[in-house]
Structure formats: C-alpha cells, structure tokens
Amino acid sequence: MHIVVTGAAGFIGANLVKALNGRGEYNIIAVDHLSRADKFRNLVDCDIADYLDRDDFLSEIEAGTFDDDIGAIFHQGACSDTMEEDGRYMMKNNYRYSVMLLEHCQNNDIPLIYASSAAVYGAGKTFVEDRANEAPLNIYGYSKFMFDQVVRRVLPEQTAPIVGLRYFNVYGPREQHKGRMASVAWHFYQQYKKDGKIRLFGGSDGYAPGEQRRDFISVEDVVKVNLHFLDHPRHSGIFNLGTGRAEPFNAMAAATLNALARLDGKPEQTLAQWAAQGAVEYIPFPEALVGKYQSFTQADIRCLREAGYDAPMLDVKNGVTRYVEELVKQNVAELVKQNMAAGY
C-alpha cells in the first residue's frame, strides 16, 4: 500500500515525507507541481516510490490506477499565496482539486488528512472551529473555507476518516523556496544575514511596533500532529493546529538574534538592547495590507487535545533556536560545497 503526499516537494509536504521515512515508510507517492523546479531540493534526502505531477495524479485517480493501493493521503498541496488575485486559479487549485480527492477517498475507504488554514478566521478574534467565527479576508482563505464546508457536510455520513488541520503560522526547515511567503523566522534570519538588522512592521490595529501577535508553530509539531491522526484513524473532524499561544513578532526577532549570538559564543540580549545596537528596525505598516492582515491569532486547541494529541508544542524561543541552528548548518554545508567546487 502507498501513502500519498500531495505538495510533497513543498514546505510541510517535504517535512512529512522525511518524517515518514524516519518511521520506515518508503512506499510513498510524492505529488506536486514543479513549476518552481528548485523545490525538488526538498526531496533530495528523502526516499519515495514514485513522483507524479498533480494533474497527472488526478487523472490516474480518475482512471482507477491506484484502486486498492493507497493506504492514506496527506493532502498538503495548495497555492498558499495570500496576495494571489486570480480567484479562478485559486478555487480550481485549492478547492475543486480537494473536492475530487475527498470524493475518491470516501468512495475507496481511504483516510484523508488535509491542510486547512487559520486564514478562514479572517480578522476575527475567536479562533474556535465554528462557522460563526469564520470570515476569510482573501481568496486563499475563502478557498480553504469552502472546502471545510464540504467536509462538514460529509462528516456525518463519512465512509473513511477525514481530518482537516487549520495551520496557524508555521515555520521551519524546507521553506526556502517560498520566497515572500516564507515564514517570519526565515525572513528575519535572511535579513540579518544580509543587512545586519531585522525589520518589523510599525504599530497597527492598536498594537505597538512589533507587538502584533501570531500563533507561531514549528513544522516539527505540525508533522507530529499529522502523523498522530494517521496512527489514530478513529478521529475525524476539523482541528486548529497552533501552539495555543500568541507571541509577538518582537519575540520572534529576539529569538532569532539570540540564537545567532549563542552560536557565536556571545551572550543573549533583550530586544531593547538589540534595537539600541541597530539590529532591529521598525518600518511603516504597508498600505497594501491594511484590512487584509491578521494582527492577532491564537489557536484554540481544545478539540485537538480532546482528539488525544497531548504532546507539548515548542514555543518561539525553543522552536526558532532549533530552526536557526539548522539554517546555519545548511549555510556552512553550502559554503563547503562552493569552496570544493572552486578548488579551495
């Protein structure tokens, strides 16, 4: 039996493939759309049975090629660009594709674990998995919201497990291909590496500079939760996936700077001390994001806990420290390769 991971060359998908390998699972069908060819690097250290383009996979599904040969589908593939304005593309890619996979899974008794998003809550301040709290601000959030509604209609008469995970702000390894859509942690690291400073938004929505708050969750925890539901197929539903803590962007910046300081054998400092040295800079809040920006998110994870997931989640300080250490390690390895290629 195969395990299918859609979006397998992407951020969360590739981390899932690697974690499945770590459990001894190699009979994996990786599904993706490599219009960004550099995403292949995310799978170089992974072992898979086959790779299929996302459209080819859907055609094979419809043709019955994989009947009785799929044990579970992790559906991570989606366009996650919150600034995308092509609604037809977004709905076809994120919504319609997902509906077709859901129908196949229900018709063939295949567990489906899929990526939803905290974007369904829009500017709301109550992050509980309930229709009354959902009002997306952009077409990306709407595409996720619409599929969640389909799932809710199917759940009462489901024939196979269905789990939707509403990801909050995920950060961690294998996101370098995402560019401007990469996590705050990745951008902060790159900014400091390039310019010796980290830039944060100034005050907005009543928040002081850098004090806008998000529920930042490490991809390590996201992967663990996905695998939890693979191991516990009796649980179905839509679940928030965050830490349950809202932490300010200032904390993310301080964690990044202190992680780098520790690696250099230097002492930690407060955010104020870093700012006094010019390592933190506040920039005006972008006009393009006014009315489209979540200044506060905090997952209510009671449903997740009730479904049996009781492991602690990494906080920003510890999660970002681990991530920065991994980024530095990757940079060192890349420098070694470049020097070897240059004959040094």
User: Residue 330 above 50 pLDDT?
Assistant: yes
Q: What confidence score (pLDDT) does residue 61 get?
A: 87
Kindly report, residue by residue over 160-219, the tens digit of the pLDDT.
999 999 999 999 999 999 888 899 999 999 999 999 999 999 998 899 999 999 999 999
Burial class (CB in 10 A: 0-12, 13-18, 19+), 312: exposed
Q: Let me know if 140 is a catalytic residue.
A: yes
Q: Tally Cβ neighbours within 10 Å of residue 48.
A: 19
Q: What confidence score (pLDDT) does residue 87 get?
A: 81
User: Residue 233 above 50 pLDDT?
Assistant: yes
Name the DSSP letter for residue 296.
B
User: Residue 279 above 90 pLDDT?
Assistant: yes
Give the whole-number percent of the chain exceeding pLDDT 70.
94
Nearest to 35 by CA among 19, 53, 20: 53
Kindly report, residue by residue over 66-91, the tens digit of the pLDDT.
878 999 999 999 877 766 667 888 88
Per the CB < 8 A criterion, the answer to whether 10 and 32 are in contact is yes
Residue, of 8 and 66, whose pLDDT is higher: 8
* CB-side neighbour CA atoms (13 Å) of 84: 19
Average pLDDT over residues 312-334: 90
Give the whole-number percent of the chain exceeding pLDDT 90.
78
Q: Which of 140, 142, 189, 309 is catalytic?
A: 140
Residue 104's identity, in one-letter code, is H
Kindly report, residue by residue over 30-46, the tens digit of the pLDDT.
999 988 788 999 999 99
Residue position matching structure tokens 């390592």: 279
Residue, of 291 and 27, whose pLDDT is higher: 27
Q: How confident is the model at residue 271 (pLDDT cuts 50, 70, 90)?
A: very high
C-alpha to C-alpha distance for 75 and 4, rounded to whole angstroms? 8
Q: What confidence score (pLDDT) does residue 213 get?
A: 95
Structure-derived torsion over alpha carbons of residues 321, 323, 329, 335, reported in degrees to the nearest 10 = -120
Q: What three-state secondary structure class fits 82?
A: coil
Q: What confidence score (pLDDT) does residue 332 get?
A: 61
Q: What confidence score (pLDDT) does residue 336 get?
A: 44
User: Residue 340 above 50 pLDDT?
Assistant: no
Residue 316's identity, in one-letter code, is V
Residue 52's identity, in one-letter code, is L
Q: Tally Cβ neighbours within 10 Å of residue 47.
A: 13
Q: Rounded to the nearest 5°, which phi and psi values hold at 171?
A: -135, 160
User: Residue 253 above 90 pLDDT?
Assistant: yes
Q: What confidence score (pLDDT) does residue 83 get?
A: 66
Q: Which of 18, 51, 178, 282 is catalytic?
A: 178
Average pLDDT over residues 265-283: 96
Q: What confidence score (pLDDT) does residue 188 get?
A: 97
Q: Let me know if 51 is a catalytic residue.
A: no
Mean pLDDT over each residue of the chain, to the nearest integer: 92
Kindly report, residue by residue over 86-131, the tens digit of the pLDDT.
788 888 888 999 999 999 999 999 999 999 999 999 988 999 999 9
